[in-house]
Chain A
Amino acid sequence: DAGVTQSPTHLIKTRGQQVTLRCSPKSGHDTVSWYQQALGQGPQFIFQYYEEEERQRGNFPDRFSGHQFPNYSSELNVNALLLGDSALYLCASSRRGYPYEQYFGPGTRLTVT
Chain B
Amino acid sequence: QQPVQSPQAVILREGEDAVINCSSSKALYSVHWYRQKHGEAPVFLMILLKGGEQKGHEKISASFNEKKQQSSLYLTASQLSYSGTYFCGTEGAGYSSASKIIFGSGTRLSIRP
**Chain A residues near B (Cβ < 8 Å):** 4, 31, 33, 35, 40-45, 48, 55-56, 58, 90, 94, 98-107
Over the window 89-113 of chain B, the binary record of Cβ atoms lying under 8 Å from chain A Cβ atoms (1 yes, 0 no) is 1010000001111111110000000
Contact (Cβ within 8 A) A99 B53: yes
Inter-chain contact A90/B41, CB cutoff 8 Å? yes
Contact indicator A98/B103 (Cβ below 8 Å): no
Chain B: residues with CB nearer than 8 A to chain A? Answer: 2, 30, 32, 34, 40-44, 47, 49, 53, 55, 87, 89, 91, 98-106
Q: Sort A-B residue pairs by CB-CB distance and give the 10 closest, nearest first.
A: A42-B103, A104-B41, A56-B100, A99-B47, A104-B42, A43-B103, A99-B55, A42-B87, A106-B41, A42-B106
Name 18 interchain pairs, CB-CB below 8 A, sorted by A. A4-B41, A33-B101, A43-B89, A43-B103, A45-B103, A56-B100, A90-B41, A90-B42, A99-B53, A100-B30, A100-B99, A100-B101, A101-B55, A102-B32, A103-B44, A104-B41, A106-B40, A107-B41
A-B contact sample (18 more), CB < 8 A, given A90-B42, A100-B47:
A4-B41, A41-B105, A42-B2, A42-B89, A42-B103, A42-B104, A42-B106, A43-B42, A45-B100, A48-B100, A55-B99, A90-B41, A98-B30, A99-B53, A101-B44, A102-B101, A103-B44, A104-B42
